[in-house]
Structure formats: structure tokens, C-alpha cells
Amino acid sequence: MGATIAKLAERPNLWPWLLLTPLAIYLAIFFLVPLVNVAIMSVTEPRLTLANYERVLVGALYQRVFLNTFLTAGLVTLACLLVAYPLAYLMNHSSQRTAMMILLLVTMSFWTSFLVRTYAWMVLLGNNGPIIAFIKAIGIEIPPQLLFTRFSSTLAMVHILAPYMIMNIYSVMRKIDPVLIRSAESLGARGFALFRHVYLPLTAPGIANGCVLVFVICLGFYVTPVLLGSPREQMIAGLIGTQIEEFLAFGMGSAMAMVLLAVTLAILAIYHRRFGLDKLWG
Amino acid sequence: MDRFLRLIGFLVIIFIAAPLVIVVPISFSNARSLQFPPPGYWLGYYQAYFSDTDWLRPTFNSILIATATTVLTMVLVVPATFALVRHRFYGKSVADLMMLMPLAVPHIVMAVGYYSFLGNLRLVHTHMGVVLAHACLSVPIAFLVLSANLKGFDRNLERAAQSLGASPVQTFIHVTLPILRPGLFISALFAFIQSFDETVVAIFISGRDAETLPRKMFDSIRQEADPVIAVISTLLFAAVLLALLTPLAWSSIRKRLRKRPPAAAFSGG
């Protein structure tokens, strides 16, 4: 028996490779090759130049779309934070039962498909929807166009991505030792000072996690901006889709995809060096 | 400060709940277009969904593709997770990172890649093509769930089995697998949902022949906003609710059973 264990301990180096090989081969073929393919197309379609990148980085249309994408992602992240923090606070200061109910609601929202939630916003904000009806009821004759604007797509994205932020912030907030809060209060910290010097630093890791996650997902968001947004104010993913589907411009589409990928990976790399990427989704 | 935060928290609850609640009455509406509140109620759109092959075919495609994706993902991920959690070897941190990469790449980028890559292999617009693509996207999610479970595994249980004479294979089948079963189940469930919900890659590669439900919904919303989507949304919503409430109900039933006097323990012993 002892001999077998010793023998097992002697050859630990072959096993992990054996177990990993099928997945490694699979990912190499069906994940890396398509990705490298995008990189190749971006410099070879329609012919071997860097012209695609030049157009993507210098062209006024593309610059505007990139800027719009960053602004939207920033705005959505900020809005998610403003939505998530009070809710996490409320959950942390409610009875266990209430907190559980809220958590159930947030989880339900999280697990409901992007498309379903996008469609729901279409109903809510549509011309025959309850919000327009309410605006009419309070006496405004010509209600504003809500659907297919920057407002509707931003609002829906905030709704769709808020659960990521809520879960991240709540998970750190619930771990705060109540003794810390009480001692801060006994030392005279009230209201904003308590928030600024106690809550904020203690929940900072959750905030950082949530913000990175929401920002990165929002940068590459396709479905919601395409369905709910204004056609004149596309985001980058929507424009990539148009290039591929409508114009069959694989070179331009790929070049934009590479820029989007580079930005996303750069943000995640900074996060990885500081916290470790596995924590982001854990 | 406290009151202010609570008030905002309450408003946020309404903000989160409203879109989830609104699709249910719409699905029972008898209006031809989106209208809320509905002028009247009927089950017509449910009938429309369950009798229209244009909706049923994508539904079956999605179930088929998600099932195949789950099997493929688990076959690849389970051994790899054992390797990455239980062994130390040169290049492990790179391998760990590689497992998460499909989660880091925006889906639109992968969609462009698959569109041309699977096109070259003549797999675009086939079930096989969608499965092969979806499995890559499910790998990191299945891995994250399973590795968290495996890290919490008490290896002394395996050592105890082996010291009692069980072979490594017997130990794996009779000790490791039963203990890991909930983790394996959740990991597979996540892989399934990831594939079932995946929209962007499916829009570009599934075509008409392997059209998935999200792709059909996306096209339908873009063109006409067919109220049948509200039916599907309600059904999906019910599925999520059921999946979330079942474990909760189960644990509360078990808690209640445990509160009974320990007579059962005697008879069982």
C-alpha cells in the first residue's frame, strides 16, 4: 500500500497534462484559431495593408462611435453603482427575510435572458406603454419619444447589468463587522462622514469588481443597443455587426473587433495584475 | 443618510422588478400590438406559440444545442478542472488564465471569428457549428463553478477510502463522484443556460437551419415585436423562478424534517 502511494507521488507530472490535453486542443482549435483569424482578416481583407486600422482609428465616424461607446459604458457603470449601492445598503440593514427576498429578485433578474429584459423595456417605454400613458395623464400633450433613443438603451443596459454590481457590493458589505460601524459612530462619525471613512473604504473591493465587470460587458454590448438604441448613435459592437452582416466588410469589422478586444483585454490585464482575474467572476 | 439610502433602495426594487413583472400580463393580452395595460385577456398568443413551427423549431434547436453543448463542455472541463485544482505543474497559471479567456473576449468579436472560421469548415448554419462555438463559451463558466466545489473538497475522505483498501478508480466512483454531484450538476446547468441564452454568436452563425430561440426572438423583436415573445418571456421567466425556488423549498422542507424528534435516527441506525 505504502509503495503504491509512493509510486503515485513519484509521477505527478504526467497526469495533469493528460487530463488537460483534450480541453487544450479543443480551445486551441475552436477558440484561438477563430480569434487569430479575426486578427489576420483585419490586415488582409480586402488586401494586405494596415488601411483598415487607419480608417478605424482616424475616421471621424469610427472615432465618434468609439467615443460614444466609452461614454455610454462609463455612464452605465456610474448609474449601476448609484443604483446598486443603496440597494445593497438596504439589504444589509433589513431583516434576514427581507434581504433574502430582495436577493431572490436580483437573482431572478440576473438569470432572466438579456433578450427578455430588453423586450420588457420595449413594452414599458413604447408609445402604448404605461410610462407614456402616465406622461399623458399628467397633462403633457405630446410625450417625448422614449423608445429607440440613447435614453432607452442606456436605461435597459443599467437594468440588465445592475445585478452584477449589486451582487459584488452586497457580498463585501455583508462581511463588514457591525462592531466597526458602532465604534465609528461612538467616535462621532455620522451620515456622510461614516459613509466616506468607513463604508466606502470597506466596500471598495466590491465596487472595483462591479465597475470593471459592468464597464467591460457594456463595451462589447450588442443586443440591447441594437434593439433599443437610436440607429444614429450606434455602439461599437452594433457597428461591427453592420459591417459584417450588411456590407460583408470583414476587414473593417475585424479591425474594429481587434480594437475592441485590445481595449477590453487591457482593462482586464490591469485588473488581473492587481486582484487576479479569477476573482472577477468568482 | 440612512433614510435617504433606504428610500432610494426601495425605488431601485421597483426599477428592477417592473420589467420582470410587465411581460406576464402582456402575454395574456388580446391586443394586436404592444399595449399596456392590455384591453382584454385571452390565451391566444400561447396557442399561437405552441402551434407555430416557426417558433417551435427554434425552441427545439435551442434545447438540442444546449444539451449537446453541456455534454461536450463537461467531458472537456471535468478532467481539466481536476488537473488544475489538484496538481501543481509548470505553466499552471497560464493554463488557469486560458480557461477564463473565453469569458474575457466580447461575444461580438467571437461572432466575427466564428462566422468566417466555421464558414471555411462549412459548419456555419449547422447545429454542429453552434455547439462547437457554444462549448468554448461555456468552458469558463463550468470551470469556475466546478473548481470552487473541488477546492472545498476534503481529500481526507479519499485518503480514508484508499487506506481501507479501495482502488483509485473505486475511490473516484464511490467517494469523489457522489460528493461532487451537486457541484457537477450546477456546473452543467450553468453550461446549459449559457448556451440556451447565448444570442450574439447564434445571430451570426446559426442561420435558418440551426436557428436558436434567442436568434428568432432577436429577429422578431427587430422586425415587428410579435407578442408571442411575451409568451416565451413568461415561460422562460417561470422556468427561472422554478429553478430558484426549488432548492429554497427543498431546504426549508429538510429543515422542517430535521426539527422532528430524533426517533427516526434510532430506527434508521
Q: Mean pLDDT throughout A109-118?
A: 91
pLDDT at residue B267, rounded to an integer: 35
Q: Over the stretch A219-236, which tens digit does the pLDDT of each residue have?
A: 999 999 999 998 888 999
> A1-46: per-residue pLDDT in tens?
555 555 555 555 788 889 999 999 999 999 999 999 999 999 998 8
ipTM: 0.91
Is the predicted pLDDT of residue A251 greater than 80, yes or no? yes
Average confidence (pLDDT) over A202-212: 94
Q: Which residues of chain B have pLDDT under 50?
A: 261-269
Q: What is the secondary structure of A45-109 as a DSSP string?
A: SSSSSSHHHHHHHH-HHHHHHHHHHHHHHHHHHHHHHHHHHHHHHHHHTS-HHHHHHHHHHHHHH
For residues B81 and A127, which has the higher predicted lDDT (pLDDT)? B81
CA-nearest residue of chain A to B113? A34
Instruction: Count Cα neighbours of A263 within 13 Å in the Cβ-side half-sphere.
Output: 22
Predicted confidence at residue A12, as pLDDT, reads 55
Segment A45-63, tens digit of pLDDT? 888 989 999 999 999 999 9
Q: Which amino acid, residue A272?
A: H
**pTM for the whole structure:** 0.90
Q: Do A22 and B217 touch (CB under 8 A)?
A: no
CA distance A109 to A157: 12
Interface subset of A 252-281, CB within 8 angstroms of B: 253-254, 257-258, 260-261, 264-265, 268, 272, 277-278, 281
Q: Does domain A59-248 have CATH number 3.30.70.120?
A: no
The verdict on a CB contact (< 8 Å) between A123 and B34 is yes
State the average pLDDT over residues A116-125. Answer: 91
Question: Residue A7's pLDDT is what?
Answer: 57
Mean pLDDT across the stretch A176-197? 84
**Would you tell me how many other CB atoms lie within 10 Å of the CB of residue B23?**
25
Q: Where are the domains of chain B?
A: 54-219
Per-chain mean pLDDT for chain A? 90
Determine the residue of chain A that is closest to B17 in CA distance. Answer: A105
What CATH class is the domain B54-219? mainly alpha
Q: Is B160 on the interface with A (CB under 8 A)?
A: no
| Contact between residue A228 and residue A122 where contact means Cβ atoms under 8 Å apart | yes
Q: Kindly determine whether residue B5 and residue A86, on different chains, have CB atoms separated by under 8 Å.
A: yes
Judge contact between B184 and B78, C-beta under 8 A.
yes
User: Residue B265: its pLDDT value, please?
Assistant: 39
| pLDDT digits 0-9 by tens, B130-141 | 999 999 999 999
How crowded is residue B238: how many other Cβ atoms within 10 Å of its Cβ? 11
What pLDDT is recorded for position B260? Answer: 55
B214 close to A118: Cβ distance less than 8 angstroms? no
Residue of chain B minimizing CA distance to A160: B16
